[in-house]
Structure 1
Amino acid sequence: MRGLWKLTVSAVGHGVRCVPFRLHSGRPPAPLGARILTNPDDVLQHNMWDHVQWSPEEFETAKQKAEENSRDRIPVEEQVRYERDAHQYWNGFYERHHNKFFKNRQWLFSEFPELLPPGSETDHTSGGQKRGDTDQVSRGSSHIASLSDSPEVLREQQQQQDTSYSFAVKSQETVAFPGQHASFRILEVGCGAGHSAFPIMKTIRERDTFLYCIDFSSRAIQLVKEHPDYDPAVCHAFVHDVCDGASLFPFPPGSLDVILVVFVLSSIHPERLQGVVNRLASYLKHGGSILFKDYGRYDLAQLRFKKGQCLSDNFYTRQDGTRVYFFTKGEVHQMFTDAGLEEIQNLEDKRLQVNRGKKVVMRRVWIQSKYRKP
């Protein structure tokens, strides 16, 4: 029946093998992309298709693959180094790849128009693909301080950091700070080499807007500052560990209009996430928003992991020592609402990513969310 099936296309020798799977169900698409595959013969016409509906069989297959690659877990005593040496792993990543591993996220303003002050209109177009990053490159690297050797001690450390943070916020001076002149302020967490920052800088000039960029990696911040498009008149980039509750930002609580966290929180240990979101939320103005995009559960990147790379449920380490967690909509909602924010958008963004040269179709899952401080 027309409209019930899609094609998975893969190269087999010199031919093409097609396996049926479900097409878009005909329901109205979410407000996120509109390229819907309705004719299986068109699957190779574009690099990405939106709003893919999985069949129960496809979901079960993905779930089984994730369960299989999670059975053999890295011993807890060996996991310590992934926390202790996190900055070294990320510095090594940027030292190897510099700023050539990512593409600038030109899709930011089409999916997150909140990045512009109210009443602004952007001439910034998506320039082709309005997509999330690919599986192994979407790695915001805002990270974690050293970790103890058990979940119980980790939770205790988190509570101690939260207590220190609460005291520090109360005692922080709110006098002069970078970007104080701006009426609209943005913080990007885990800016990497600037692939969101530079499109934002280009767009916010002459808009009475200021951007703060932070990353756990000192090498990443160095790359941002050395870039010819870095403009200290509209941006302040600095090294910061968002998991360190005692480390203050150079701006006061309640001073930000937007916080951007794109493929960043997935790199943080799940036990640390709520504390990070709580602290970030405290820097929002009332009415300010956190804009979130990250890996969803059973994304292709999760299913590709081999046995022995799993740290804990849905949390893995890559070959280079960096880590990644895969979220559900429910977890994201709980995390942000527990920080006192209200939901504006929370979508499971399922797409088909197509390698047209190799005739391979890949199922991608991302979570895209927007939460506002009342």
Structure 2
Amino acid sequence: MASPGENEEERRPAWGNRRLHDPTQVFQHNAWDNVEWDEAQDAQAKQKVRENAQDPVPPDLQEAYEAKADEFWNGFYSIHQNRFFKDRHWLFTEFPELDMNRDEGKEREVKGEVCNSDGEKVTGTAAALSDKDKERASVEEDTCASTVAEGDTERTNLTTELTNMSPDSTHKPVEDFGSQNHAVLGDICQTLDQLAVRGSGEEDKAEDFPGQHASTRMFEVGCGVGNTVFPILQTNNDPGLFMYCCDFSATAIDIVKQHPDYTSRRCHAFVHDLTDTTSPLPFPEASLDIIIMIFVLSAIHPDKMQSTVDHLAKYLKPGGKLLFRDYGRYDLAQLRFKKGRCLSDNFYVRGDGTRVYFFTQDELRTLFGSAGLQEELIYVDRRLQVNRGRQVKMYRVWLLSKFRKPLK
């Protein structure tokens, strides 16, 4: 296996093809790919992070953020419903494994080549992202990490908010314009299917767990309101595909189940705390073909990340893949945090009480490698976004990774 950093330029995915060669032309486009920082920028970013770390959140508030994490996410989705994030159709470009309609062994048309973790050249994994795709991805990836960070409240207000939130508060289902009927209709269809099976004398095909008879099983952890799940189901009409999706927020899962495309014949959505490794999942170990983690691991306390990844890895089939995208170290969202928001090194709390961590490549190698997964790709997506109207430059850093469970 190639050592970390070896042939890094060749191993980069082929879609990052807009390079800024002339700095005077920076405002000619909305985004530039693979923009490296100079020494001054790098030093400035590190200094900003060091300064914020010197004024951490008090321990009692840190404990409250951990204990009431689900309440903060419920609050987030209660406010934003399904309007905050856009559907992630661009994921099929970055993760063509999610498109089952593509020819076996072939990927979409690409420019250039990519190397695997052994340094061997392989067919590229995605086409060049269009400007529209990049803008969609960038808007979503900005999320509340940067927007909420700009609207910081005083620490006294945070203390009041935490005090007023009742840990015993009951969850009320979200009302969504009567679209609950769609979920009911899906359950009715499943019941009719079950009756048809009984009538055909095939009772022995009854499922021990949802999706038992599926030929391909995917699981998205931290699914939010379904912005990944539903594009996958819409793109793949294979009846053999079954999707599982979970979220820490019961409010988010309510919204997923109210979606017009939700049907229990193809999808099973449930509330789950990933960090509770004793809580059962609705499928057996070694049963999943793909696990999807998009901006979810960063919301977990760093002390619980390794046990969470270890537990998830048990549910992958031999040869199964884990697809990952999340925040990278010194991303704009990290540098926008003000003093008093740092929980621990590179771990912060937003103004709405949700939390976020910023990763490095080596940290991902350690986390997933220790869980017994083999690295296929870890790509640092360094993108320069510009606001041409305001003449503002914004440097974004994300990590895109693929890991595979060994066959033996």
TM-score normalised by structure 2 residue count: 0.73
What SS does structure 2 have at the residue aligned with 1:91? helix
Greater share of residues in helix:
2
From 143, 162, 177, give the equivalent of 1:136: 143
**More displaced stretch, 278-287 vs 117-126:** 117-126
Deviation per CA, 1:168-195: give whole Å up to 9, x if none.
xxxxxxx621111211111001010111
Alignment of 1:14-93 (within 5 A): 30-31=12-13, 32-93=15-76
Q: Name the residue aligned to 2:310.
A: 278
SS at match of 2:133: coil
List aligned pairs for 1:342-353, cutoff 5 A.
342-353=374-385
2:364 is matched with which residue?
A: 332
Could you tell me which runs of 5 or more consecutive residues in structure 2 were left unpaired when the two chains were aligned: 1-8, 109-125, 147-206
The equivalences for 1:280-299 within 5 A come to: 280-299=312-331
CA distance, structure 2, for counterparts of residue 248 and residue 337 of structure 1: 24
C-alpha change, 1:216 and 1:33, in structure 2 (3 Å) is same
Question: Structure 1 residues 195, 42: closer, same or farther in 2, change over 3 A?
Answer: farther
**Corresponding position of 2:187:** none
1:231 to 224, 248, 263: 263
1: CA distance between counterparts of 2:28 and 2:229?
Answer: 31
TM-aligned CA deviation for residue 29 of structure 1:
7.8
**CA gap 1:67/1:195 in 2 versus in 1, 3 angstroms:** same
CA offsets, 1:25-77, max 9 Å, x none? xx668214222222334433433211111112211111111111121011222
Q: Per residue, is there more strand in 1 or in 2?
A: 1
Q: 1:199 aligns with which of 218, 231, 234?
A: 231
Q: Is the 8 A contact 1:189 1:261 kept in 2?
A: yes
Give CA-to-partner distance per residue, 1:62-96, whole Å, 9 cap, x none. Answer: 11111111210112222111011111100000000
Alignment-mate amino acid for residue 134 of structure 1: E
Give the letter for the 2:369 counterpart. Answer: T
Larger radius of gyration: 2
Question: Given residue 77 of structure 2, which amino acid in structure 1 is its aligned partner?
Answer: Y
4+ residue runs of structure 1 moved beyond 4 angstroms?
Answer: 120-127
Corresponding position: 1:262 with 2:294: yes
Identify the match of residue 252 of structure 2 among 210, 217, 220: 220
1:119 shift after superposition: 3.8
- CA drift of 1:295 comes to 0.5
Query: In 1, Cα distance between the equivalents of 2:89 and 2:386?
Result: 19
Residue 354 (structure 2) aligns with: 322
Q: Which amino acid aligns with 1:370?
A: K
Q: Identify the residue that residue 243 of structure 1 maps to in structure 2.
A: 275
Q: Deviations over 1:109-129 (max 9, x none)?
A: 110112234845899996722
Q: In 2 relative to 1, CA 88–356 (structure 1 residues): closer, same or farther, beyond 3 Å?
A: same
Aligned residue pairs: how many? 314
| Contact 2:220–2:245 (8 Å) recurs in 1 | yes
Helix, strand or coil: the match of 1:182? coil
Q: Deviations over 1:234-285 (max 9, x none)?
A: 2111111111111111111000011000100000000000000001100000
| Percentage of matched positions with identical amino acids | 54
Distance 1:219 1:302, change over 3 A: same
Letter of the aligned partner of 1:297 in structure 2?
A: R
1:355 Cα deviation (Å)?
2.3
Contact 2:145 2:350 in 1 (8 A): no
Q: Secondary structure at the match of 2:142?
A: coil
What CA distance in whole angstroms lies between the structure 2 residues aligned with 1:49 and 1:184? 36
Root-mean-square deviation over aligned CA pairs: 2.3
For 1:322 and 1:276, the matched residues in 2 are separated by 18
SS in structure 2 opposite 1:129? helix
